[in-house]
Structure 1
Amino acid sequence: MKTRPGLFTLLAAVASLAPRKLWLGGAALAALTVLMGMALLGLSGWFITATALAGLLPATALMFDVFMPSAGIRLLAVGRTGARYAERLVTHDATLAVLAAVREKLFRHWSRPYAARQLLQRPARLLQRLTADVDALDSVYLRLLVPALSALAAAFFIAIAYGVMRWWLGLLVFAWLLLAGWGVALWLGLASRKAAVRRAMALEGLRSQTVDLVAGQTDLLMAGQLPQQAAAVLRSDARGAQADAQLYHTEARATQAYGAVSAITLSASVLLMGALVQGRYIGAAVAALGILLALSAMEPFAALRRGATEAGRSWLALRRLGPALAQPEVQAEPVLSLPESAWAVQLQEVVVGSLGPVDLQIAQGERVAVIGSSGAGKSTLLLALAGEWQIASGHLAAQRCSWMTQRTELFQDSLRDNLRLARPDASDAELWQALETAGLAADIKALPQGLNSLLGEGGLGFSGGQARRLALARLLLSSASCWLLDEATEGLDAATARDVLQRLSGAAQGRTLIFATHWQREVELADRVIWLQSGRIAGQALRGSREFSQALSRLRPDGLVPRSNVHTAAQPTDFSPVL
């Protein structure tokens, strides 16, 4: 049973992604800025009051040193400005460095074997992790850790100043500021946590539903679901607005609480300073300094307000990203072990997903078609051979495979870069050769920019047949000795499909081909056919045998819809029809 990393473990994992000097330097500069601001206000108050009192008597006025305090005020003013600039520079540098490192680690985590299937299943969720969730982590340092340390430094500074007057007064002020200042921030974080999480979930749903509404507008309209999808977007927006209203209301109450605490602190300071002056423990100028320090005491604590409001969102982001961030970096190892020299694939009692146990051996250079009804386990088998689905038990060994999936994955980039996904070092001559073999070279040469032509998102601008041929050209560039093809000609017209298959067969000489298919035209290329039923191998047949012909006759011919047959247990080749 896997355990979720704790909060401090996650925070330590995030902090380790940036140099420690940036973290500590930023917090130290923030505390220095706050202290200089408080000292500037207190010293200015003391100087004005002391100057006024000294002016009452000519002898005192002549003895009063105005140069040292004024020089100190100028030094604090300039130093505060410089410290503020340096603090913003260092803290933002640290934050941006951490966010960049987090994204890199997430990319590495999701580029591991078995991750592609999850990416295809939930692309919107993973996009949310890389954008909104990562951005939410900046509040942990910039709006929680740095202000909290600055507030602690401010409370300690005031405690020392008051402690010089009376020791018990310093302890009392220190305890009051921490209890009241951090207490309000803690209450705000707890009170706004649920609303912050609801707002994050609503925004995630709103983004995903809006993308589906825009990208799938035609499909939704044809299915009669366009009004329902629009209504779902409006409901998510309403939930987000309601959560926003709750957050604003809670934050407003926290602002009022900080105002009340500040007023109480200032009023108590005036009374205490008056009592100390009356008892001749301090002078009027020192009392002014104490009052002005109390006036600025709550400002660093009030800076926690925004971070506390977003703490729920940051906590959710940490929980979501935690498993990837807390996982140590490991040296990449081959996903699958290599089979014995005569074989391309070896499976022994393999169980993966709903498939298995399966025993199967495929020789090098053999062409095998895997057939069966939808859900029988064909795609699962190819996923396991490609190393994209971890087996639950058994032993699986396979040569390095290139996988041509049911979907043609093309990107908004140039044709050259789309092809070089298979082999980044491929020359233009090799690219043109692959396009020629795939039957697409003439179409590309007709484009004004040739290989530099830009594709739209998802291959927009290409027909289905052209996109499939481009995927085939990319497969041809692969140096893998085993090619996996999952419904390689699905969605193509009969003439285009047969041309693609003919070119594929010619280019795959000496390579192992494994098809997962519903079509007769693809099985006709195979040396052996294997049919699956309910995750098990129901039978096998070699080309030329009666069972091979029976299996072929039950598949989908070009341009025809398969007839409904019922599986008969007594005849292994009479498998359920492929739909």
Structure 2
Amino acid sequence: MTSMKRVLKLCLGSARGAMVQGGALTVLVLLAGVGLLALSGWFITAAAAAGLAGAGLAFEVFRPSAGVRALALGRTGARYGERLLTHDATLKALVAVRLRLLRGLMSQPLRRLERARAGAALNRLIADVDALDGVTLRLFLPAVAGALTLLVSVIGLAVLVSGTVALWIGAVYGIGALGIGLRFGPQALPVARRAERALQAVRARTNDAFAARADLTVYNALDRQIAHAGHAATELAKARAHRDGIERAAQFWVTATVQLAVAGALGLGFMAVTNGALSAPLAMTGVLAALALSEALMPLARGISEFGRIADSARRVMGDIPETVPELHPRHDAKPMVVPPLDLRSVAIRPLIDTLSLTVEAGEMALLAGPSGVGKTTVLNVIAGLLPPDRGKVCIGGTPLTDHAEEDLRGRLGFVPQRTTVMDGTLMDSLRLGNATLTEAEAWHLLDIVQMAGFAKSRDGLQTRLGSRGNALSGGERRRVALARAIAGRPPVLLMDEPTEGLDEATATAVLKGIRAYLPKSAILIASHRACDRVLATRVITLR
């Protein structure tokens, strides 16, 4: 429940005004419904009684009928405003949750992010956060609005109709709602978790089958993988059927509670009319008010069925959002960013590197060499600030990396990792991730440097679509786009991990020469095992 409280606090904090206004309109809608049905019942019964008494011509019909129309129209308008405000506030709140979740994920250690399955993280950003709209729309607002409506209605009935009838209706609805929630709410959580695990298994196994369909076909294992996914789908269907059963059971008891409240109001009203303590129109007002209050209780069954899914999503999402997430803005107390050199002072990265000290001066292109697994990629990750060293300091311009403001650091330290990522969009979109003010002429110059201008001209120029994850490009083309993006902002320090992998020697040499010419004063550190990269380096640092 702590996660649910945190989600609710975040949602209310993101759009408090709209949420409060929407909640007030929700209460107004429910009260208008109670008033409409109660007034209609009183009007019909009173008109019938006046007719039977021969006083039909003297009965005032205009004011009650005007009240019925006003309540009907007001309820319709309030419902529209309530939906507009609460949904708008909820969508704004979900935006805030996604931003905080993304910041929380990005603040996690690199090793944890590397172990995370991409589909699971993406599901948190999409499906889990989408499920959190139920915290306000299915749980909080209906519960608060229903309780307030019941309280106001009971007070009104006690004043206008009968204290006994009002007390009966309030007790039945209050105890009934509490009992149903306590009875079925705890059952929903484990069922939701089973359904979620099964859903994730269906997605993962289906995606794996699709991604590896060629290999699975060659090894005659496609049918087995499909059956594996089918088993998960069967488990998902069972969990969902169980959840639907809980909702139906809760709905049965909600209906029973409404019928009990109405029957009790009818019986108490009949006795009061028989004893002469209450008029028939007022007795009918209590009965129909009890019936109208069912609208406040009906969301309970749906809320119970959704409770488990919402609570489980809240637990996963809030698990990746720290209590305090630092805002991404420059630190005014940080020392100003200065030009290189890049300096590593007695850095230890266990268990790979015991002690490493090196300096890369301005205008120098140094190369990290060594056998696979010796720690070249890890050193670059430490310099980029993605991994903390176990000992020692990484300095840029004499200032420790941790003393630089995050935005300034990312704007001036370029990094091309071994596994490059290119998102869907155009070539220009991708290059502007490295420099938001990049002009088209500068973009073409960058493409010339990385030997991609010919490719772009043969397609749609700077508007060439790259496809999801860059699947419209070859591996070498994706890497060159990533290189152009990294140098677009002319970073004073540039780190590149296997930058020419997948390129022929002539292209690789041309790309590195172009980058060196484009960044003549930058300190460049490369991790590579290729001879053509070694030839261009001014210094080779061998890790052992």
Tell me whether 1:434 sits opposite 2:431 in the alignment. no
Q: Distance in 1 between matches of 2:322 and 2:50?
A: 62
Whether the 8 Å CA contact 1:355–1:381 is kept in 2: the answer is no
Contact 1:346 1:362 survives alignment (8 Å): yes
Which of the residues 378, 387, 404 maps onto 2:416?
404
Spell out, residue by residue over 1:515-553, the C-alpha distance to the aligned partner (whole angstroms, 9 max, x if none).
222333333333443344xxxxx4xxxxxxxxxxxxxxx
CA drift of 1:468 comes to 3.2
Shift of 1:392: 4.9
Distance 1:101 1:464 in 2: 36
1:521 alignment partner AA = C
What is the deviation of 1:342?
A: 9.0
Equivalent position of 2:403 in the other structure? none
1:150 aligns with 2:161: no
1:450 matched to 2:446: no
Specify the alignment match of 2:368 in structure 1.
370
Partner residue in 2 for 1:421: 433
Name the counterpart of 1:14: 11
What code does the residue aligned with 1:282 have?
Answer: L
Secondary structure at the residue paired with 2:47? Answer: helix
Post-superposition shift, 1:343? 5.6
- 1:11 maps to a residue whose letter is L
Residues 1:125 and 2:120 are matched in the alignment: yes
Of Structure 1 and Structure 2, the greater helix share is in 2
State how far apart, in whole Å, the 2-side matches of 1:120 and 1:217 are: 24
Which position in structure 2 is the counterpart of 1:45? 41
Q: Distance in 1 between matches of 2:338 and 2:35?
A: 78
Distance in 2, matches of 1:196 and 1:140, equals: 15
Amino acid at match of 2:456: I
Inter-CA distance 87–327: structure 2 relative to 1 (3 Å threshold): same
Give the superposition deviation at 1:156: 1.6
Distance 1:306 1:353, change over 3 A: farther
Tell me by how many angstroms 1:232 deviates.
3.3
Unaligned 5+ runs, structure 1: 533-537, 539-579
User: Who is 1:379 aligned against?
Assistant: 377
2-structure distance, mates of 1:276, 1:351: 87
Amino acid at match of 1:434: L
Structure 2 CA distance for partners of 1:21 and 1:482, relative to 1, 3 Å = closer
Deviation at 1:228, TM superposition (A): 4.3
Contact conserved, 2:165 with 2:286, CA < 8 A, in 1? no
The 5-angstrom pairing of residues 96-107 of structure 1 reads 96-107=91-102
1:188 alignment partner, one of 184, 187, 190: 184
> Offset at 1:116?
10
Contact 2:347 2:357 in 1 (8 A): no
Alignment of structure 1 residues 549-568 onto 2, 5 Å:
none
CA pair 351-177 structure 1, distance change in 2 beyond 3 A? farther
Residue from 224, 247, 269 that aligns with 1:251? 247
When residues 390 and 170 of structure 1 are mapped into structure 2, their CA distance, relative to the original with a 3 A threshold, is: farther
Rate the CA distance shift 1:521–1:181 in 2: closer, same or farther, 3 A.
same
Q: Aligned in 2, Cα 1:443/1:75: closer, same or farther, shift over 3 Å?
A: closer
Shift of 1:74: 1.7
8 A Cα contact 1:105 1:324, kept in partner: yes
What TM-score do the two structures reach when normalised by structure 1? 0.82
Q: Which moved more, 1:424-433 or 1:29-38?
A: 424-433
The answer to whether residue 540 in structure 2 is matched with residue 529 in structure 1 is yes
Cα pair distance change 1:68/1:354, threshold 3 Å? farther
**Bigger radius of gyration among the two:** 1
Contact preservation (8 Å) 1:181, 1:298: no
Distance 1:468 1:63, change over 3 A: closer
Matched, 1:94 2:89: yes
1:74 partnered with 2:72 = no
> Deviations along 1:164-186, whole A, 9 cap, x unmatched?
35545534432321110232134
* Residue 265 of structure 1: how far off its partner (Å): 1.9
Corresponding residue for 1:291? 287
Alignment partners' CA distance in 2, 1:470 and 1:83: 53
How far apart, in 2, do the equivalents of 1:369 and 1:280 lie?
A: 101
Q: Is the 1:102–1:325 contact (alpha carbons within 8 Å) kept by the matching residues of 2?
A: no
Alpha-carbon contact 2:189-2:307 (below 8 Å) kept: yes
**Residue by residue, what CA displacement relative to the aligned partner does 1:91-115 show, whole Å, maximum 9, x if unpaired?**
1121122122323333444455967
User: 2:284 & 2:380 partners in 1: Cα distance?
Assistant: 79
- Displacement of 1:269 in angstroms is 1.9
Note if contact 1:117-1:388 (Cα within 8 Å) is conserved in structure 2: no
Contact kept, 8 Å, 1:136 with 1:317, in 2: the verdict is: yes
Residue type matched to 1:118 in 2? L
How much does 1:474 deviate? Answer: 3.1
Other-structure match for 2:497 = 486
| Distance in 2 separating the partners of 1:320 and 1:471 | 32
Q: Which amino acid aligns with 1:15?
A: L
Counterpart contact for 1:119–1:126, Cα < 8 Å: no
Deviates more, 1:312-321 or 1:505-514: 505-514
The amino acid across from 2:311 in the alignment is W
Cα deviation, 1:363-413, whole Å, max 9, x if unaligned, reads: 313333223443332212111211222445542223642112223422322
Partner of 2:197: 201
Structure with higher RCO (Cα < 8 A, 6+ apart): 2
Q: What is the deviation of 1:71?
A: 1.9
Q: Which residue of 1 aligns with 2:233?
A: 237
Measure the CA separation in 1 of the matches of 2:61 and 2:336. 89
Does 113-122 or 138-147 show the bigger shift? 113-122
Q: What residue identity is the alignment partner of 2:438?
A: A
Which residue, 515, 519, 529 being the options, matches 1:518?
529
Distance 1:492 1:331 in 2: 37
Distance 1:307 1:247 in 2: 12
Q: Could you tell me how far apart the structure 1 residues matched to 2:390 and 2:236 are?
A: 41
In angstroms, what is the RMSD of aligned CA positions?
3.1
In 2, the alpha carbon distance for the partners of 1:105 and 1:340 equals: 27
CA gap 1:425/1:305 in 2 versus in 1, 3 angstroms: same
Are residues 85 and 341 of structure 1, via their aligned partners in 2, closer, same or farther at CA, if it must alter by over 3 Å? Answer: closer
TM-score, length basis structure 2: 0.87
Query: Which amino acid is 1:517 matched to?
Result: S
Q: Secondary structure at the match of 2:329?
A: coil
In structure 1, distance between residues paired with 2:122 and 2:48: 64
Query: Aligned residues, how many?
Result: 527
One-letter code aligned to 2:492: S
Unaligned runs of 5+ in 2: 398-411
* Match among 167, 170, 180 for residue 166 of structure 2: 170
Query: How many Å apart are 1:128 and its aligned residue?
Result: 0.8
* Matches of 1:150 and 1:124, distance apart in 2: 37
Q: Give the partner amino acid of 2:204.
A: S
